Amino acid sequence: MSQPVGAKGSKKAPGGYRSRREWHAKKRRLHVLRDRLERERADFEAGRVHIVRGGKRLLNTRHHLAAADLSEEQWRDRWQAERWFLQADGESGKRYGNETIRLTPDGQVSIKLPAPLAHLANAAHGRYILSARVRFAHRGQEWADLIKANRTVAYRIHLDAHPGGARSRRDSGRWYLTASWQHQPTPTIPLQAALADGVIGVDTNADHLAAWRLDVHGNPIGNPRRFGYDLSGTASHRDAQVRHTLTRLLHWARGCQVTAIAIEDLDFAQDKTREKHGRNKRFRRLISGIPTGKLKARLTSMAQAAGISVIAVDPAYTSRWGAQHWQNPLTNPKRPTSRHAAAAVAIARRAQQYPIRRRTAPPPHDQSDRAGHRSVQAAPCAAGREETRHRTPDRAHDAPGPDTARTRATSAPNTVRGAPVQLTFTVSGTVQGA
């Protein structure tokens, strides 16, 4: 906002807006955001919390029943169902990990009633036992191990309403009980132990994950894999797409008996702003579509349950060097290699602490100092070997440095054209003769 209109920016500083109209629109938006911020701060300081029991989206649906294809009675059933729930956080050390809502290993559910409702109890100690049994089809064994150790487990009982509203609530939906718990911190294992069976490099893109498996020596094995996903639609659809893609990736890793996955430690928080790329909406939309944060969080939790380690590497130059050094050598008539698959190889090699750039062909015999194999490949112990290499001029090994002093002064020739050359030898030692 402080830059003049039409001022050009640089790589480090943004420029001004292109027109006075755009500057005015951004100025109005800035005032609107400041007003909203002041209202939120006032509510926070006063302790006012705005909550819609049932959901704000469902509340707004009441004004658009025709568009939602719902009647008022159907909407009322959904509204009441969203407000009917009972939840309780667990407590470590209590029996089965929760004193308020207790769930036994055989699926019996009992609720600790408050004092005003103690006369409704059908069991000892003021508890009410439900007639239905509960069974967990997903992670049931993990839940059973937690409650046997009296670990903390939180439960939530809620009603899932049926779209049909003419029937009674007892027949129109089902009651569900969900359990949630917190995973214990995974102990960090040595890097060499995680890479003992190779590694799978994963390159994150806007619409797919490119993966390639490498052996312990850093050589690609088999063919690259592509795991696509569609991040359009609702938030639940996008989350389901990410979970399904990571599930396929982890199943492939377990099938290959690989216990390590290498990903890039990407963060586009600064690259999504308007001040960073201006009016280039297409590029900002592309960056925003890459699910870096959600993918890393999901992959970490899912890989922990699968017993697979996740290695985050520096993303610098992985795509550029992968395409430069690995795309063409790995391409054949039956297997075209994309730039993203080559970047996956570069990511995996960096996780294995191998250089990304391949050895180039050695030059011919040196004309000045020696003959032998030379390469631009730096040793693994060389500092800065993964940095950008500057262009070296021709015959740089023969040219003296700027601070090198001359060791021999230039002298005029002491021979005359056409005259015989006289050579003088100095012999040291003893000469034996007749």
pLDDT at 139: 86
The tokens describing 259, both together, are: 């216990």
The answer on pLDDT for 412 being more than 80 is: no
CB 316 within 8 A of CB 267: no
pLDDT at 300: 84
pLDDT at 74: 86
When pLDDT is averaged across residues 79-90 and rounded to a whole number, the result is 87
The distance from CA 127 to its chain's CA centroid, rounded to whole angstroms, is 46
pLDDT grade for 425, boundaries at 50, 70 and 90: very low
The answer on pLDDT for 372 being more than 70 is: no
pLDDT at 369: 55
The answer on pLDDT for 267 being more than 70 is: no
When pLDDT is averaged across residues 188-195 and rounded to a whole number, the result is 85
The answer on pLDDT for 151 being more than 80 is: yes
The answer on pLDDT for 164 being more than 50 is: no
pLDDT at 289: 61
Q: Which residue has the higher pLDDT, 277 or 323?
A: 323
One-letter-per-residue 3-state SS of 140-200: HHHHHHHHHCCCCCEEEEEEEECCCCCCCHHHHEEEEEEEECCCCCCCCCCHHHHCCCCEE
Name the 3-class secondary structure at 245.
Answer: helix
Half-sphere exposure of 270 (CA within 13 A, CB side): 4
> Yes or no: is domain 191-351 CATH 3.30.420.10?
yes
Q: Which residue has the higher pLDDT, 360 or 307?
A: 307
The answer on pLDDT for 227 being more than 90 is: yes
Rounded to an integer, what distance in angstroms lies between the CA atom of residue 272 and that of residue 267? 10
The answer on pLDDT for 48 being more than 50 is: yes
pLDDT at 377: 54
Mean pLDDT, the chain, integer: 79
The answer on pLDDT for 124 being more than 70 is: yes
pLDDT at 366: 55
CB 252 within 8 A of CB 211: yes
pLDDT at 138: 85
CB 251 within 8 A of CB 307: no
Query: 34-38, 170-174, 255-259: lowest mean pLDDT where?
Result: 170-174
The answer on pLDDT for 60 being more than 50 is: yes
Q: Which residue has the higher pLDDT, 123 or 287?
A: 123
pLDDT at 216: 93
Rounded to an integer, what distance in angstroms lies between the CA atom of residue 201 and that of residue 311? 9
pTM: 0.60
